[in-house]
Homo-oligomer: A and B are copies of this chain.
Amino acid sequence: MRIALAQLNYHIGDFESNVARIRSVIKKAKGEPADVVVFSELAVCGYPPRDFLEFDDFNSRSQKAILSIAKECHGIAAIVGAPSVNPFEKGKPLYNSAYFLAEGKIKAVFHKTLLPNYDVFDEYRYFEPNRMPYQVVEYKKYKFAVTICEDLWNITDDPLYVRNPMDELIKLEPDLVINIAASPFHYNQQGIRKDVLIRNAKKYKLPFFYLNHVGGQTELLFDGGSMVLGPDGSVFDELNYFEEDFRVYNLNDFIYKEKKENRQDAKTLSKIGLIHDALVMGIRDYFGKMDLKKAILGLSGGIDSAVTLVLAARALGSENVRAVLLPSRYSSEHSISDAVELADNLNVQHDIIPIDQAFSAFEDTLQPLFGELPFDITEENMQARARAVILMALSNKFGYILLNTSNKSEAAVGYGTLYGDMSGGLSVLGDVYKTQVYELAAYINRKKIIIPKNSIDKPPSAELRPGQKDSDSLPEYAILDDILYRYIELRKGPGDLVKEGFNETIVKRVLKLVNTSEYKRYQTPPILRVSPKAFGTGRRMPIVAKYLS
């Protein structure tokens, strides 16, 4: 029994291209030869299809796609993820299913039992859990247990679900387990995922073939890393991370046909290296799948826009990125020189467009209403917004997408201007705390200096008034990020934080800033997700509320 794993990058809703790619990989697998080729969860429509699943038109295209793929399956079987229709009177209209296709037709359909509905997942919004008796499918004398992603995940000490599908499937004495998945990346996920699979293999003493999605889907970054495990729980092989891959295994000896040279191994990448690669993939796929090429961003001379520019140049090519320096009367000399140096290091086109004429025009226009009122946050925001108008004008005129350069610490405490520096089509660093942005800069500079030392070393400043520093309004980032991580990622309350030794006044102030900034984050661009708890679809907070605020 030879099993091929096909780790592909799908485009949500693009049935034509998804089906064409699946069919061509089936042909390829047949040539290897392989007996069975495995594709990922909801492969035909892409993951996550979200509310497109409420459209009959969309679902009937999925059905047609499966039938068209089945026609390719002669002399080979394919396991492919797609929604299927719930034929019963009761319950939600769809299942999240795995089709076993062979002999030109649908040989069996398996439905997902455990539907993740936390963080970024909304599967119970669309799907009915499997309630039917479990089955295995026999093909070429091997009995396959086919499961879907979360179906293997209820194996922790604190189970989220009352059922565990493998406990029932094992009674049918399968020879191997296939799991098709759509398990998105965060910087701890690879370890967690591997642990879950090892626990399963050890508990059920079977070989496991795990096939994951790869590629960016707006904010969700799928890192691939499909895996083969032996019945003793040993990891026999891992497919590439952050890129497509295809390999064939012989079930009997687990010797795979072709050992790719130089393949990246997750184990050798540091956490910050993983974040780096994930972000580059996220930018690349956002642009690629939107059929866009060129990015623009405001380059301030600070570290956030510097790191964003490097990541964008790596994802899109230096020739497709444009940096704009937008100095105001409060910008320091070194900001301009640091920014120019970076653009030159990267060979990226840059322009210098002073905002003072626009800023002065707003001051003049508002003078009759503002009179002698003192300079305050209004004028600070006005500068940030004048910059956004210029960047968006360039974007509109020349077809660039504006990249947002805000980091997670700023987004958390609302240290940013709506319709100003919070603008953009995609937020690159919105899930990366400021202290992690420094780590990313160091990682980028690990072999040679790309980001000027001065951009890294100088105290962070928005430069919106004379001598302004971030630390005037915020705690030092080391403390701030520590509190934010515990509140946002770990969901600790104020009592816990004080017990852990943080200053009560600072804790209260930070939590209040976070909770009263929901209205700002509601209007942020989509944020590439690299942490276990990113702002965006995976963190849903009331805007109008009064809690720790």
Contact = CB atoms under 8 A, between A and B. Distances in A.
A124 B117 contact: yes
Nearest to A13: B547
Given A55-B493, A370-B397, A49 B160 contact: no
Nearest to A487: B55
Interface string A514-549: 000001001111100000000001011111111111
B397 A418 contact: no
A392 interface: yes
A443 interface: no
Contacts of A491: 54-56
A52 B541 contact: yes
Interface in A46-72: 46, 48-52, 54-58
Contacts of A351: 369
Interface string A255-290: 000000000000000000000000000000110011
A169 interface: no
A377 B396 contact: yes
A420 to B, nearest CB: 8
A362 B389 contact: yes
15 contacts: A11-B546, A14-B546, A52-B541, A90-B162, A122-B540, A289-B546, A354-B365, A358-B361, A366-B390, A369-B397, A376-B396, A385-B388, A385-B392, A419-B419, A522-B526
Contacts of A519: 425, 526
A122 B119 CA distance: 11
Interface string A1-20: 00000000001111001000
Interface in A284-304: 285-286, 289-290
A386 interface: yes
Contact of A378 (B382, B396, B425): B396
Interface of A: 11-14, 17, 46, 48-52, 54-58, 89-92, 117-118, 122, 124-125, 131, 158-162, 216-218, 285-286, 289-290, 351, 353-355, 357-358, 360-362, 364-366, 369-370, 373, 376-378, 381-382, 385-386, 388-390, 392-394, 396-397, 418-419, 423, 425, 491-496, 519, 522-526, 537, 539-549
B392 A418 contact: yes
Given A117-B117, A392-B385, A396-B381, A544 B365 contact: no
Q: Of A50, A159, A423, which is in contact with the most chain B CB atoms at under 10 Å from its CB?
A: A50
A396 B353 CA distance: 25
Nearest to A389: B385
Contact of A13 (B56, B92, B542): B542
Q: Which 8 A-B pairs have the closest CB atoms?
A: A57-B493, A13-B547, A361-B361, A14-B546, A378-B396, A12-B545, A419-B419, A13-B545
Contacts of A493: 55-58
A57 B543 CA distance: 19
Contacts of A418: 392, 423
Given A12-B545, A161-B90, A544-B286, A362 B218 contact: no
B357 A361 contact: yes
B397 A378 contact: yes
A89 B58 CA distance: 39
Contacts of A495: 57
Contacts of A366: 353, 390, 393-394, 397
A546 B52 CA distance: 11
Contacts of A285: 544
A497 B549 CA distance: 48
A525 B526 contact: no
Contacts of A390: 362, 365-366
B546 A13 contact: yes
Contacts of A358: 358, 361-362, 365
A546 B12 contact: yes
Contacts of A394: 366, 369
A209 to B, nearest CB: 28
A434 B17 CA distance: 37
Given A493-B58, A522-B526, A52 B389 contact: no
B392 A389 contact: no
Contacts of A523: 523-525
Contacts of A548: 13
A423 B377 CA distance: 18
A241 B491 CA distance: 37
